[in-house]
Amino acid sequence: MKSLLSFSFSFLLLSSHAQSSDWQQTVDYQINVGVDHQKNTATGQEKVVYSNHSHDTIRTLYFHLYWNAMKKGSHSFERMAEMGSNYSDLTQDDFGQIDVTSISVNSVPLVMDVYESIGKVVLKDPLLPGKDVVIDLQFTSKIPSCINRAGKNNRSGTDYTFTQWYPKLCRYDKQGWHTDPYFGREFAGTFGRFNVKIQCDPSFTVAGTGVLKNKKYLSKGWEEAGKQTKSTPTVWEFNAENVHDFAFAMDREWRHEQKRIDEIDFHFFYPEKNAQSWKNLIDNWHKSYAICKENFGTYPWPQFSFIQAGEGYMEYPMCTMLEGASDFYSTACHEFMHSYFYGFYGTDENLHHWMDEGLTTYAEARISNINGDVLEGNEGNSDYILYSSFGEAEPMATAANHFQLDFGYWNSAYFKARVFVELIQYMIGDETIRKGFGRYYNLWKFKHPEPNDFVKVMEDVSDMELTWFQNYWINTNQTINVGIDTIQKTNNGVSFTLYRNGIPMPLDVQVTYKDGSTQRFHIPLDLTNNVKKEFKTRPTILQAWSCGAPRYTVSLENRKLSEVISIEVDPDGYLPDDKEDNLYEK
């Protein structure tokens, strides 16, 4: 008990002017879990020290009981079906659940009131600001089939995936409790420490969050192979500091390889049959990590494991579950980048999914680009335009759990969100946004940043105002549409008029003359207050276009109409708009 209470989170709680709020709760979990592979059950004891650093008195605790979403007839199944998943042919064996069989808080036995995947415990004595409670609980689980992130026997043959598997305190922050039910989507957690002991048959290898403490039991590539006896269950003990979740998986057949890069141990767990595609990841990973480190900062934990397990591909702190059997290099990069935006930034993935999936997708494209192809910064446009064509767009500000359809969620969280970052890059410049990610890292790691915090950082490094763009792109369904309206002779030359509707943007325009020469113009937008400083092709900077004016005229003095061969708006193709009206050609 002493060791639990004496742990200090002070490094997390250093007050910073940058924090969305000046406090965050902390947790300290000790979990012992036994996995019975014959009955497909798990039984655990869990002790949590929950520290209330808020200014509030807390009278009720809430827990996630995610595997209750896998109960037959759960509302989660109905909701997931409504959003587009198909679970119509499940049998009794596929369903799972988790039951809390006892709970006490500060040694006072209490009752957990369970509704679907959320458990509620009313405290006998309120938890005052600045105080801790010690929660002791016991739980048993029926392990579901691995059809929704977690469970037994996944499609690629991994025996067990334990994700969202233990009673987990919901997050409490300045908005109060976040008691989001589980619909197979996203997570939010509280930073803290985990000590997890997993008891299982010695035939299994276990891999997951944290650093393995008792390496003497290890086999299949870990140190001191083959020392365990066949008859006694093995206990695998993991420690993780400064994480907001703990996941693991177990398999009898995995190969295990390890690579150390910059003092970080990268582990790879995969079946022999998929060795070829894993070889590609293992051989090239150092190249991707080097790009990642340069652009997005140093990975802050001592270990990361790529594990073939789970359903689909899913991120957890210090590890990822990859179902992939064939070419999954860029997806592995994607999942690793989640260690940043979901992992140590600790963004709320339900409320601000785009800050996780969108930034991760943006970063994935960069760290998987190990052949050094030039990325223009508009690669996300095609996916965004494609997905937008599938149905009515839903605002990016929609919570992950509450999109009407999967398409709406995917487009908002991944594609439209990636374009959001790429359009900021377009407005402030490649090197400036890189600086912005560095500043974001220094200010916000382990601090649960929110949308304003990301945008503010980009404003700080660029000296441009971007809040207006955040509002348009995230809260509305408006799109960008610019074009050439007219071109006309004037008293002293030629002029052309542009029009715009929807979201205003700073614009580049290129004019090509009969003699082969070109002229570049940059039209700033008044809303940004300042002008972009980085250009690949040096333009003539014109007067800002007012956000209140639907039209804007550019004069080409001392030119003849017959000299102008073409005028092109957005000549580098950065904007995801209707291109049809962007080009005037004689």
List of residues contacting Zn ion (CB under 5 A): 357
> Shortest approach of Zn ion to residue 414 CB, angstroms?
7
> Shortest approach of Zn ion to residue 79 CB, angstroms?
20
Q: Measured between alpha carbons, how far is 40 from 333 in angstroms, rounded to an integer?
A: 32
| Residue 382 CA: distances (Å) to CA of 52, 269, 415, 561, 570 | 46, 34, 9, 35, 16
98 or 314: CB nearest Zn ion: 314
305 or 331: CB nearest Zn ion: 331
> Shortest approach of Zn ion to residue 338 CB, angstroms?
6
> Shortest approach of Zn ion to residue 376 CB, angstroms?
23
364 or 450: CB nearest Zn ion: 364
Instruction: Look at strands 234-243 and 192-200 and give their pairing.
Output: antiparallel
Helix, strand, coil shares of the chain, percent, nearest 5, are 30, 35, 40
Q: SS3 string of 7-43? A: CCCHHHHCCCCCCCCCCCCEEEEEEEEEEECCCCEEE
**Interacting residues of 84 by C-beta distance below 8 A, sequence separation 6+:** 405, 406, 407
Which residue matches tokens 């057949």? Answer: 253
Q: Which pair of tokens denotes residue 570? A: 């957005």
Instruction: Name the amino acid, one letter, at 523.
Output: I
> Shortest approach of Zn ion to residue 447 CB, angstroms?
21
205 or 305: CB nearest Zn ion: 305
193 or 418: CB nearest Zn ion: 418
301 or 340: CB nearest Zn ion: 340
> Shortest approach of Zn ion to residue 364 CB, angstroms?
8
| 248: Cα within 13 Å, side-chain hemisphere | 28
What is the arrangement of strands in the sheet containing 493-502, beginning at the earlier edge strand? 480-490, 493-502, 551-557
> Shortest approach of Zn ion to residue 315 CB, angstroms?
6
**Interacting residues of 373 by C-beta distance below 8 A, sequence separation 6+:** none
> Shortest approach of Zn ion to residue 357 CB, angstroms?
5
333 or 527: CB nearest Zn ion: 333
CB 95, CB 125: distance < 8 Å: no
> Shortest approach of Zn ion to residue 312 CB, angstroms?
10
357 or 450: CB nearest Zn ion: 357
Residue nearest to Zn ion (CB): 357
Where b means 16+ CB within 10 Å and e means fewer, 541-580 reads ebebbeeeeeebebebeebeeebbbebbbbbeebbbbeee
Helix axes 451-462, 417-428, angle to 10 degrees: 20
Q: Which pair of tokens denotes residue 564? A: 């102008």
357 or 422: CB nearest Zn ion: 357
> Shortest approach of Zn ion to residue 259 CB, angstroms?
23
Which residue matches tokens 């869990």? Answer: 46
Q: Measured between alpha carbons, how far is 411 from 351 in angstroms, rounded to an integer?
A: 15
132 or 357: CB nearest Zn ion: 357
3-state SS assignment for residue 246: coil
